[in-house]
C-alpha cells in the first residue's frame, strides 16, 4: 500500500544544514594522524572538495561522499537533490563523474514505495550527469538519509584545487544563496511556493554546465558552496591560498524571498554554528543589514561553484553562462586582518 509521507517531519535538521558544526569537526580531524601515499595528491587535510588519487602518470581519480536527511517532502525530488549535491564535489574539482554508489538510511515504518522514489530520483540525476550507479549500501534508521559515493576521472594537470586563488582574481558564484533559509521556512509552512520552487530548481540543478563552460577559461581555484556557507567555503580558499577575499554584498545573487524570511528570523541552526567557527576569520563592514549577514552564513544544499579567475575570463564566463544567478561577486586581494571581508 502506498502512503503519503511528510519526509521533513521525520528530521530535526535537513540537507547540508545537518552537517556537524565545523568547530566540532575540526577539533577531531585536525588531530588525526595523516595516512600518506605517493599516489594521494589531495586528502582531507587540505579541506578540498574531493580526494585526488593518482591512477597513471597523467590520470587521477577524484572521489567524494555526501549524504544527508531530506529538505523536501517529495521523495523523488529528495533523491535528485542529494545526488546533485554529491556529484557537485567532483565538478568543483573540474572533474567528470563516472560511477557512483548509493548510501541510504531508511526507516522501517515507511512504505517501500518511498525508497523506490528516492533511489529513482538519484538515478535520474546521475544519468543526467552521464555517470552510472552501481550498487551501494542500505541500513535501517529512524531518520531517512540519502546520498552517493562518487568517483570521477580527469587529467592530473586539469584538477582545480581550493588553494590556488591569486591576488587580482575575481570571484564568480554560479548559484543564488538562501536555500537553507527557504528550506527552514518551508518546513514550518512559512515559505511561499515561489520561494520553494526557486530553491528546488537551484538544488536540483547540476553544476555540470558551469564546470563545462569554465573549463574554457583559466580557473586558479574553485570550490562549491554547501553546508559551511559562502563565508565558510571562501574562508577555506583564502586560508589555503594565503590571500584575502573581498565580497561585494550588493552583487551576491539571492533566492527569491530568502531575505524577507531571514528578517522574520527563519534561520537554520547551521547558520549560527558557521558564524561561531568563523567569528575571528570573517569581517563584515558597517552598514550591512543583518539579513545579508545571515545569508553569508546560510548553509547551502547543492549550492553553486565558487570560481577564482582572471577578471577578463571571469566576465566572459559569466556572460557565456547568461543566467541571472551567475555573477561576479568579489575579488582576491593581498592578505589582510581577516581571511574574508564582506563589503557594503
Q: Which are the catalytic amino acids?
A: 16
Q: Cβ contacts of residue 142 below 8 Å, gap of 6+?
A: 10, 107
- In 3D space, the residue among 306, 301, 290 whose CA is nearest the CA of residue 187 turns out to be 301
Do 149 and 65 touch, CB atoms closer than 8 A? Answer: yes
Q: In the chain, which ranges are continuous DSSP H helix?
A: 22-29, 75-92, 112-128, 179-187, 193-204, 208-214, 229-241, 258-263, 269-278, 290-297, 311-321
Q: What is the DSSP string of 242-253?
A: TSEEEEEGGG--
User: What is the spatial distance between Cα 221 and Cα 153, in angstroms, rounded to a whole number?
Assistant: 18
Q: Phi, psi (5° rounding) for residue 322?
A: 50, 45
Amino acid at each position: 500500500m502506498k502512503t503519503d509521507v511528510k519526509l521533513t517531519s521525520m528530521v530535526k535538521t535537513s540537507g547540508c544544514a545537518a552537517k556537524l558544526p565545523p568547530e566540532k569537526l575540526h577539533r577531531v580531524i585536525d588531530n588525526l594522524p595523516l595516512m600518506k601515499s605517493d599516489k594521494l595528491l589531495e586528502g582531507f587535510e587540505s579541506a578540498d572538495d574531493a580526494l585526488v588519487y593518482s591512477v597513471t602518470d597523467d590520470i587521477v581519480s577524484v572521489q567524494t561522499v555526501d549524504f544527508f536527511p531530506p529538505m523536501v517532502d517529495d521523495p523523488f525530488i529528495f533523491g535528485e537533490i542529494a545526488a546533485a549535491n554529491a556529484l557537485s564535489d567532483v565538478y568543483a574539482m573540474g572533474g567528470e563523474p563516472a560511477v557512483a554508489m548509493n548510501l541510504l538510511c531508511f526507516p522501517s515504518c515507511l512504505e517501500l514505495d518511498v525508497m523506490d522514489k528516492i533511489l529513482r530520483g538519484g538515478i535520474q540525476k546521475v544519468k543526467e550527469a552521464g555517470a552510472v550507479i552501481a550498487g551501494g549500501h542500505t541500513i535501517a534508521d529512524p531518520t531517512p538519509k540519502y546520498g552517493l559515493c562518487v568517483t570521477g576521472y580527469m587529467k592530473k594537470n586539469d584538477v582545480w584545487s581550493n588553494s590556488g586563488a591569486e591576488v587580482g582574481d575575481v570571484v564568480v558564484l554560479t548559484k543564488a544563496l538562501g536555500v537553507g533559509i527557504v528550506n527552514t521556512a518551508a518546513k514550518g509552512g512559512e515559505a511561499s511556493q515561489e520561494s520553494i520552487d526557486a530553491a528546488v530548481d537551484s538544488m536540483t540543478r547540476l553544476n555540470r554546465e558551469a564546470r563545462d563552460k569554465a573549463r574554457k577559461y583559466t580557473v586558479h581555484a574553485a570550490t562549491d558552496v554547501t553546508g559551511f556557507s559562502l563565508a565558510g567555503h571562501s574562508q577555506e580558499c583564502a586560508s589555503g591560498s594565503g590571500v584575502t577575499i573581498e565580497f561585494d554584498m550588493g552583487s551576491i545573487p539571492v533566492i527569491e524571498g530568502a531575505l524577507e524570511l531571514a528578517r522574520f528570523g527563519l534561520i537554520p541552526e547551521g547558520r549560527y554554528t558557521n558564524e561561531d567557527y568563523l567569528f575571528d576569520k570573517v569581517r563584515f563592514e558597517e552598514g550591512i543589514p543583518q539579513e545579508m549577514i545571515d545569508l553569508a552564513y546560510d548553509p547551502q544544499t547543492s549550492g553553486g561553484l565558487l570560481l577564482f579567475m582572471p577578471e577578463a575570463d571571469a566576465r566572459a564566463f559569466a556572460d557565456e553562462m547568461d543566467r541571472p544567478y551567475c555573477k561576479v561577486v568579489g575579488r582576491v586581494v593581498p592578505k589582510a586582518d581577516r581571511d574574508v571581508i564582506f563589503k557594503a
